[in-house]
Chains A and B, each alone.
Chain A
Amino acid sequence: MTSEKTEQNLPDYAVLARYEGVTELVEACKVVRDAGFKKWDSYSPFPVHGIDPAMGIKMTRLPWLIFVMGITGTAFGIWLQWFSNVSAYPFMISGKPLWSLPANIPVAFETTVLFAALTAVFATLAINGLPRFHNPLFTSAAFARVTDDKFFIAIQADDPKYNQSEVMALLQGTGASLVEVVGDDSKKDVEIPTLLKVGLAGSFILGLVPLVMISNSYITETPFTSIHLNPNMDFQEKFKVQSASTLFADGASMRLPVEGTVAMDDLNLDAHLNRGLNPDQSWATTFPKAVTVNAEFMAHGKERFEIFCMPCHGKAGDGTGLIHQRAEKLGETAWTQPTNLHQDFLREQAVGRLFNTISNGIRNMEGYAHAIPVKDRWAIIAYVRALQRSQFASADDLPKDLRGKLQ
């Protein structure tokens, strides 16, 4: 019964008793529990129902730990999303608020499950003291059947009530089919070889090298572009704008519209509206019928004027816009001052001509037909007319009830 142990003179680790069935095991556990042992355990190939009270095992508090870690996971998921999409890189999509909780629920749910599941597995292993590759019980040949069909109780030698002969007698009285002493073969004073230590330290340092390289490239700039091993994205087989083509007779890849066709919405038959001309080709002096000049139209013209015209002509239209001021400040010799819109010839000019100027440009000014729709150009003209009048107004132009305020 104590074969190997006595030969090697090992100290006792435990007394091991084997049982053939679940019922015997549970009954034996009750005996050991009532005998007042603390450091003992039973072993079985599967979880035995009813063994916890028989051994006096209290309910584990593991579920609370898992719950707390699950809540931590929720908080982490919420924080991660808030930090990355609201704080670190505010991500505005379609004018929606930066933070809207419903969209963040799926990810927070996943992190909750992830944290809780990782805790469940690793905390169980840790509290069970696993992995534990050396266990004196493994020296018992009989104990190999514990994962097959046999049941065991081991009372450890470090229990305060341990006494080898008494414990063996106790267990033999519980219907055990085998009782034996297991020696403690753990070697407590073994040194880790120096070579292994150096190897581990060396591989740890080598493992840091990629991290250092990544951190370095994170904080430094490089003049090199990324390397394309396969350049098939740089040189693609397709026609690009303004490129040559062997497919068409004129050798160009871009096509012109078919002759005699007009693109959708480009058929501008109303000469007054679209070109500012009377039927006799003279400049129109009135606004076209397609637009209605009123306060709203004027306000729209003001808004467009301040976008397209003000940078050069200035807010008051006197030719002193910000671009002009900047050119003056820099002493640009080639700069020509934008036209003052309050000069007499402009105040008397036909609106059709003004329309033509905005559409097609004049002297240094480029045409704005590509940028400002037709009716918006007329709205700007209406506003320019108002501006011109404002510079030469007298008190008589004000409504009677407002004149008093001038004093």
Chain B
Amino acid sequence: MTALTSTEIVNTTDDPGEGRAPLITGAQTFHTVTEIVAGVPEQDRINRNWWIAFAIASTLATCFGASIAYLVWEGVGIWGNNNPVGWGWPIVNFVFWVGIGHAGTLISAILFLLRQKWRTSINRFAEAMTVFAVVCALTFPGIHVGRIWTAYWLLPLPNQMAMWPNFRSPLLWDVFAVSTYGLVSALFWYFGLIPDLATLRDRAKSIFRKIPYAIFSLGWTGSARHWHRYERSYLILAALATPLVLSVHSVVSFDFATSQLPGWHTTIFPPYFVAGAIFSGFAMVVTLAVPCRAFFGMKNLITLRHLENMNKVILATGMMVGYAYSIEFFIAWYGANPAEGFAFLNRAFGPYAWAYWTMVSCNVIAPQFFWFKKVRTTPVLMVIVAIFVNIGMWFERFVITVTSLSRDFLPSSWAYFSPTFFDWFMLLGSFGLFSTLFLLFLRWVPMVAVAEVKATLPQAHVGHQEH
């Protein structure tokens, strides 16, 4: 952890006399950028910390697989789901992971369209996070159906019963939205990777390294005619992915909002869910980026300015989430619906008050520390805040899902939800799966978009006078 506290180059303050502080520090050339990024997957012996982390992560991922196998054998009764809380932790985890997955595409697509150059250092990273988070997210509704061997009924496939899914159900919209999102995010990620995989191919010393990178880089040469079409397509992909991000979490919120349940049936859900998704996604990027830049020597590429920008986004979206929490209460009072009013009072002061106030503390109070520049620009402090936000956003989904279901219109049907051993195991296991995939990504794939970072350097522009 010494690396975390070592000296940082401060590029977060613009000196009026000097112009803007550089985004990439350390007077980099094209070659040094290549060396820094490609150097990580090219190490003969990877860091011992990587092995320790990988051992823990893959063990948890194996446990996840084993508990899914037991779930298939025994049925969903192994979870704490009861009647009326039919959507327990599996759906909480699903919404949590989908939300995490949003920052990747946001950083990639929206910031690309807005020509925010600081995205280039973190977009690869964030997109990988998106793809792996969507893998975890899709697992949960898949296993939540109980009889996994019939999960393909979710898709409009011709079958022997001549039945088709109900296209008016938001749950089916979800199938389309999340699977489209997963596929497009993976394509977007891979498409951006092709030139960088070619870099690794051209630098590979042994044939065993060269062949896999050669296959996945598809014979890329960096031809100007290819770049021309590539850039055009990348721009269009970004323009397609931007509304897609917004649509996906809106559709996820429809799962709740189109039902009649007090606490779910509100029109604020789509924007509120999208803000929360961006909030949690950026928090996860910060949580992952700070240790990675320290351990893999990326401090000159992922600079304090990048981290500070992300913390500002967390602060802004945290305020939106806090605003949504208060508006929910206002509407519950202003709408004068007794069931709605009860649902919200029950959230804040009922048996789940502990969860509600954990959520408010983590999501509304914790990001307020980002008003201080010291917190925004100190890696250890920002990671602490980001972890609180991650915890808080998991609790937000828990509060929405479980408190509303556990006490609805009929008091005789009320029941308290208690998670079982397997609920805990699967939550931890999904983190194991995510971390395993992410560690493999760090080990084998360039974690920063090399070609894009090079294009932001001053010498990438015609007429720049120094070599």
Contacts and interface: CB of A to CB of B under 8 A. Distances in A.
Contacts of A81: 167
Interface in A96-119: 100, 103-104, 106-107, 109-111, 113-114, 116-118
B92 interface: no
Nearest to B165: A84
A255 interface: no
B202 A46 contact: no
Given A26-B462, A110-B247, A128 B230 contact: yes
B348 interface: no
B134 interface: no
B241 A117 contact: yes
Interface string B435-467: 000000000000000111011000111111001
A258 interface: no
B191 interface: yes
Interface string A74-102: 00000011001100110101000000100
Interface in A115-166: 116-118, 120-121, 123-125, 127-128, 130-135, 137, 144-149
A113 B180 contact: yes
B168 interface: yes
B331 interface: no
Interface in A41-76: 41-52, 55, 57, 60, 62-63, 66, 70
A106 B164 CA distance: 17
Interface residues of A, number: 72
Contacts of A360: none
Nearest to B223: A41
A367 interface: no
Contact of A41 (B165, B214, B225, B455): B225
A104 B165 CA distance: 13
B199 A48 contact: no
Given A48-B224, A49-B462, A60 B232 contact: yes
Contacts of A103: 167-168
B467 A146 contact: no
B177 A106 contact: yes
B467 A124 contact: no
B8 interface: no
A46 B460 contact: yes
A23 interface: yes
Q: Which of B165, B170, B225 has the most chain A CB atoms closer than 10 A to its own CB?
A: B225
Interface stretch (B28-36, B281-289, B372-380): B28-36
B421 interface: no
B462 A149 contact: no
Contacts of B199: 45, 147-148
Contacts of A41: 223-225
Contacts of A124: 191, 229-230, 232-233
A316 interface: no
Nearest to B202: A144
B167 A60 contact: no
Contacts of B29: 149
B351 interface: no
A6 B37 CA distance: 37
A222 to B, nearest CB: 10
Interface string A16-34: 0000111100100100000
B166 A130 contact: no
Contacts of B221: 43, 135, 137, 146
Contact of A131 (B173, B219, B450): B219
Contact of B462 (A50, A93, A218): A50
A232 interface: yes
A208 interface: no
Contact of B203 (A26, A123, A144): A144
B18 interface: no
Contacts of A63: 232, 236
B227 interface: yes
A233 interface: yes
A343 interface: no
A45 B454 contact: yes
A230 interface: yes
Given A22-B459, A22-B460, A121 B177 contact: no
Interface string B177-197: 100100110011011000100
B172 interface: yes
B73 A22 contact: no
Given A113-B243, A124-B230, A124-B233, A42 B162 contact: no
Contact of A121 (B226, B228, B233, B461): B233
Given A52-B228, A89-B163, A132 B236 contact: no
B113 interface: no
A93 B168 contact: yes
A217 interface: yes
Given A84-B167, A113-B243, A114-B180, A47 B230 contact: yes
Q: Is the interface of B mostly helix, strand, loop or mixed?
A: helix
A245 B265 CA distance: 42
B419 interface: no
Interface in B25-46: 29-31, 34
A74 B445 CA distance: 35
Contact of A120 (B167, B236, B243): B236
B251 interface: yes
Contact of B160 (A80, A118, A218): A218
Interface string B217-249: 011111111111111110011001101100100
B74 interface: yes
A243 to B, nearest CB: 21
Contacts of A127: 229
A152 to B, nearest CB: 8
Contacts of B227: 44, 46-48, 51
A88 B166 CA distance: 12
B156 interface: yes
A82 to B, nearest CB: 9
A60 B229 contact: yes
Contacts of B168: 85, 91, 93, 100, 103-104
A6 to B, nearest CB: 24
A181 to B, nearest CB: 18
A111 B229 contact: no
Given A84-B156, A230-B73, A110 B180 contact: yes
B229 A117 contact: no
A89 B153 CA distance: 14
A52 B224 contact: yes
B460 A48 contact: yes
B333 interface: no
Contact of B220 (A60, A130, A218): A130
A128 B30 contact: no
A147 B202 contact: yes
A21 B203 CA distance: 20
A149 B230 CA distance: 19
Given A41-B223, A48-B462, A130-B218, A104 B162 contact: no
B222 A146 contact: yes
A147 B236 CA distance: 24
Contacts of B459: 21-22
B75 interface: yes
Given A103-B168, A113-B184, A113-B244, A46 B451 contact: yes
Query: Which 4 A-B pairs have CB atoms at the shortest separation, nearest pair first?
Result: A84-B164, A149-B30, A131-B218, A132-B219
Given A51-B224, A60-B229, 8 more contacts: A44-B224, A104-B168, A113-B247, A124-B191, A132-B218, A135-B219, A144-B202, A147-B195
10 contacts: A21-B459, A106-B170, A107-B172, A109-B247, A110-B176, A113-B240, A113-B244, A147-B198, A218-B158, A232-B75
Interface of A: 20-23, 26, 29, 41-52, 55, 57, 60, 62-63, 66, 70, 80-81, 84-85, 88-89, 91, 93, 100, 103-104, 106-107, 109-111, 113-114, 116-118, 120-121, 123-125, 127-128, 130-135, 137, 144-149, 217-218, 229-230, 232-233
